[in-house]
Amino acid sequence: MIQFEGNLGAPDTFRFLEEKLAAGIWNYNVSTRQMHWSRGFHELLGLNPGTVAPSIDEFNRRVHPDDRPLRRDVGDMLRDGLPLDREFRVVKPNGRLRWVHDQAEILLNEVGEPAKILGVTLDITRNYESLQPLRAGVERYDALIRAIDGLVWTANSDGRITSLQNWKTRGLSGPLLFYGHGWVDLLHEEERDTALGNWSVSVEAGRPYKVEHRLLQPDGAYRWFRCSAVPVLTPEGSIQEWMGTSTDIHDQKLLDFSAAPPRLTGAQMRAARGILNWSVRQLADRAAVSPGVVRRLEEYDGALPVSDESLEAFRKALLDAGVELLFPRIGKPGVRPR
């Protein structure tokens, strides 16, 4: 509570506002080039009134070295007639660093010429520091987008694409073809129904989306992309939007397609007979070969040196008996019961 008698005058009102808003007021006389600082402005700079003569040079000495020279100053105001609106750091005599927001306007005399500049400066340190985690998050997000080797996009809660953040860096002429459901028209007809169906299921169920498909390119050719998306949830758990990436895997796909098809190995044949509890003769009878051929082939740990027809006979015999042949990209071929 504040106790006072009579009317609260202008000086007391200004003082009250400066204290509550952590603000200071200054003015600059154009003709005399003299400055006046309020008590609140002195306090922003960590000074007591009367300890220094207010001046532009004195003020600039309090500005953090990394923020000098200021983006605009009093001279710029008088030259272009525009107001000041700037943020910078000041360093108090005790070494404390404060962020301030400075605004100023030109006051004209009776003939329309600049007479004074009136400014107000606010201490925004608390607000600035509270925004630092958000700024850091935005910078990390921007860095992540630059690092991702693919298109980065967002869609609203019902699955319509609303933005394509890095279309320029990916060499596209524009993002509009992808907006809404426009991306569907770019899909190869062989993958269109599957991709759209999977996307609809993911949007409805709110679960991650991943699919590989071909996209039409500006030169009229199709390239393979791996598309992944995850929902971004509100604090209540509903879907706010979707974040997705589409990564070009065309060259990798071509290598996969050009690779030789997997071939049954002797080790797989031995393991399959063990799962089925078959003798050499039982496998030989199913594949229509002699038992000696089976024994000879099972000595190979690698791919069997037989014709494609013989290979297919062994493969079919094992599959029909309930054995699944495994050919992982990484690791050795294997078998397991179906």
**Does residue 184 share a domain with residue 100?**
no
- Domain end call among 98, 128, 158: 128
**Does residue 287 share a domain with residue 325?**
yes
> pLDDT at position 88, please?
93
Structure confidence by residue, pLDDT tens digits, 160-208:
888 877 666 656 655 555 666 778 888 888 888 888 888 889 999 999 9
**Does residue 274 share a domain with residue 251?**
no
**Does residue 253 share a domain with residue 274?**
no
Give the CATH number of the domain where residue 102 resides: 3.30.450.20
Measured between alpha carbons, how far is 207 from 223 in angstroms, rounded to an integer?
26
- Contact (CB, 8 A) for 253 and 313: no
143 within domain boundaries: no
201 within domain boundaries: yes
Structure confidence by residue, pLDDT tens digits, 59-95:
999 999 999 888 788 888 888 888 999 999 999 999 9
Domain containing 188 equals 148-258
4 within domain boundaries: no
> pLDDT at position 1, please?
43
> pLDDT at position 184, please?
82
- Domain end call among 193, 227, 258: 258
139 within domain boundaries: no
Q: State the pLDDT confidence band at 99, using cuts at 50, 70 and 90.
A: very high
DSSP bridge pairs for 175: none
Q: Is 21 helix (H, G, I), strand (E, B) or coil?
A: helix
Q: HSE of 132 in the Cβ direction (CA atoms, 13 Å)?
A: 8
> pLDDT at position 7, please?
63
**Does residue 238 share a domain with residue 276?**
no
**Does residue 46 share a domain with residue 74?**
yes
Measured between alpha carbons, how far is 46 from 246 in angstroms, rounded to an integer?
54
142 within domain boundaries: no
In the chain, the number of structural domains is 3
> pLDDT at position 53, please?
94
Q: What angle do CA 204, 206, 207 make, to 5 degrees?
A: 120
Q: Which residue has the higher pLDDT, 213 or 36?
A: 36
**Does residue 99 share a domain with residue 49?**
yes
305 within domain boundaries: yes
Q: Is pLDDT above 90 for 329?
A: no
